[in-house]
Amino acid sequence: MIAPPYHLTGSARRPACRGRERSVIVRTVTVATLGTIILGLTAALAACNGPGARAEPDTHRDEHEPVLELSSPEVTTPNAPELEHRELVRVPGGPFYQESTNGASFEHTLSDFEIAKYAVTYELWYEVRSWAEERDPPYQFANPGREGSDGVDGASPTDRRHQPATRINWFDAVVWLNAYSELNELTPVYRIEDEPVRDATRADREQTVADWDADGFRLPTEGEWQYAASWRGEANGDGGRNAELREFSGRFWTPPTWASGAAGGHLDSEATGAVAWYMENTDENNGTTQPVGTREPNQLGLYDMSGNTWEWTWDWYAAYPDQPQTDYRGPDAPPENDGPYRVLRGASVGGAAVLLQVGYRIGFAPANADFSGGIRPARNLR
C-alpha cells in the first residue's frame, strides 16, 4: 500500500543563537520521491523510502579543530543472548549546549547514562524478536525487521548478520527494547496503563509512556544521543580552545556541524569518511548499509553515530525550549499543527554529508518503517 503524502519542512535560516525554531519551508512529497537527495539549504532525506519529516538546514560554517586523544571508555555487556556487538558504554553526565544546525540551542544538563557501542545488529534483533514471539503472551511486532538495507524482511540471519537491523518503526523499537529488558531480567521501561507494552500494533499504542526509573533498556532521548555523539572529553589543555561554544563546563564538544568523532567539518570528505558510511564513500557498494563498527569510533568509543542507519530517539519533534533544562525528554505530546513525529538522528548510508552533522534533527512518523531506521539502546546508569 502506498503511504500517504507527507510534509517535509525546513527551519528559518539565521545566525547561530539560542531560541525557538521557526518553520518556513513546506513541501509535499510522496514515497516515490524519497530516493531523490536534495542538497543545499533544504537538505532533504536520502535513501529513506518512507515517511516525511521536519528537517533542518545547515547554517554554520565549516571549521577545523584537533581531535582529542582520550582513554578507553568504561564498557558493560548485557548477559543475554550470547551474541556480538552488545556492549554498552558509560557516559559521564553534566551540562552541554544542545545545538541544532539552524543555531537554536539550550543549556542541557544530563545525568550519567549508558548507551550501546553499536546500533542493534540484525543478528541481535532477530534473536530477541524470536524469543519474544514465543512468550506467553507473545510480543507482537508491526514489522519483522530487515538485515541491513538489502535483506529480506523477517528472514533468518545470513553472513550479513552484523548489518544494522532496519525497517523498524518507533513502536517496534520500544516493544523490542521491552523484550530485551525482560530477557535480561530487567524492568521494562515502556508502558500503557501500568502494563508493559508488548504489542506494536495495538490501537492505543500512541499512549505509550516511559518509566524513567526502570532499569531496563530504552531509546536514548534526543539530548542523550547528541551528548554522546558530541562528547570529546575533559578539558586538559590539549587544544580545541579556539572553538566557538566547543569548550563548556570543563569539557570539549564536537561542533554541531561535524560528523560524530570526525577530525573536521562535514564537508571534509576525508574526516567524515573516516567515521561514517554515507553516500560519498559507498558508491561502489550501491549505497548499501555496512557491518556495524567498520568505521572509526567517536571519542566515547561509539560506532556509526553518524551514517549507516538512522536511529530512533524517544522525543517528540518540537522546537527547543527557551530555558536551561535538566534531563529534558521533549514535550509530553506532539506540538499542535506540527505533525506527530518522533526524532531520528544520525543519518543513513544513502545520506549526503549535510545530514551527518551531530546537530542535524529530523522527525518521522512513528508508525512508518519504510526507511533505513534502527535502534541504539540506552539505559539508566545504576
Q: What's residue 336's pLDDT? A: 85
Contact indicator for 211, 203 with CB cutoff of 8 Å = no
| pLDDT (average), residues 158-180 | 97
Confidence of residue 83 (pLDDT cuts 50, 70, 90): confident
Residue 272 CB burial class (10 angstroms; 0-12, 13-18, ≥19): buried
Give the full edge-to-edge strand order of the sheet including 75-76: 75-76, 88-91, 113-116, 378-380
Task: Choose between 244 and 91: higher pLDDT.
Answer: 91
Contact indicator for 186, 217 with CB cutoff of 8 Å = yes
- Closest to 186 measured CA to CA, from 110, 287, 76: 76
How far apart, in whole angstroms, are the C-alpha atoms of residue 106 and residue 96? 8
Domains (ranges, CATH) in the chain? 6-61+78-117+219-380 (3.90.1580), 122-210 (no CATH)
117-130: per-residue pLDDT in tens?
999 999 999 999 99
Q: What's residue 372's pLDDT? A: 74
pLDDT of residue 8 exceeding 50:
no
Q: Where are the alpha helices (DSSP H) in the chain?
A: 122-133, 170-183, 222-230, 269-275
Q: What's residue 80's pLDDT? A: 60
- C-alpha grid cell for residue 268? 571534509
221-242: per-residue pLDDT in tens?
999 999 999 998 876 655 444 4
**Residue owning grid cell 531480567:** 185
**Residue owning grid cell 545504576:** 382
Q: What's residue 241's pLDDT? A: 46
Strands 342-345 vs 23-29: parallel, antiparallel or unpaired: unpaired
Range in 66-70, 149-153, 363-367 the model is least confident about? 66-70
How far apart, in whole angstroms, are the C-alpha atoms of residue 255 and residue 129? 37
Whole-prediction pTM value? 0.83
Instruction: Give the count of alpha carbons within 13 A of 364, CB side only.
Output: 28
Confidence of residue 144 (pLDDT cuts 50, 70, 90): very high
Task: Choose between 268 and 28: higher pLDDT.
Answer: 268
- C-alpha grid cell for residue 94? 553534566
Contact indicator for 347, 373 with CB cutoff of 8 Å = no
Residue 207: other Cβ atoms inside 10 A: 11
pLDDT of residue 108 exceeding 60:
yes
Q: What's residue 94's pLDDT? A: 95
Confidence of residue 78 (pLDDT cuts 50, 70, 90): confident
| pLDDT (average), residues 196-214 | 96
How far apart, in whole angstroms, are the C-alpha atoms of residue 356 and residue 343? 15
Confidence of residue 373 (pLDDT cuts 50, 70, 90): confident
**Helix or strand or coil: residue 90?**
strand
179-193: per-residue pLDDT in tens?
999 999 999 999 999
How far apart, in whole angstroms, are the C-alpha atoms of residue 246 and residue 269? 21
Q: What's residue 81's pLDDT? A: 67
Range in 34-38, 273-277, 304-308 the model is least confident about? 34-38
pLDDT of residue 63 exceeding 50:
no
pLDDT of residue 255 exceeding 60:
yes
Confidence of residue 20 (pLDDT cuts 50, 70, 90): very low
Q: What's residue 57's pLDDT? A: 55
Q: What's residue 77's pLDDT? A: 79
How far apart, in whole angstroms, are the C-alpha atoms of residue 358 and residue 224? 12
Q: What's residue 338's pLDDT? A: 72
pLDDT of residue 135 exceeding 90:
yes
- Closest to 93 measured CA to CA, from 108, 110, 76, 117: 110
Q: What's residue 235's pLDDT? A: 65
Q: How high does pLDDT run on average in the chain? A: 81
86-102: per-residue pLDDT in tens?
999 999 999 999 999 99
DSSP class of 366: T
Residue 322: other Cβ atoms inside 10 A: 11
Non-local (6+) Cβ contacts of 185 within 8 A are 79
How far apart, in whole angstroms, are the C-alpha atoms of residue 227 and residue 135? 36
pLDDT of residue 138 exceeding 90:
yes
Task: Choose between 69 and 26: higher pLDDT.
Answer: 69
pLDDT of residue 107 exceeding 70:
yes
Confidence of residue 53 (pLDDT cuts 50, 70, 90): low
| pLDDT (average), residues 332-353 | 91
Confidence of residue 220 (pLDDT cuts 50, 70, 90): very high
- Closest to 100 measured CA to CA, from 9, 46, 20, 44: 20
Strands 75-76 vs 105-110: parallel, antiparallel or unpaired: unpaired
- Backbone torsions φ then ψ of 154, nearest 5 degrees: 80, 0
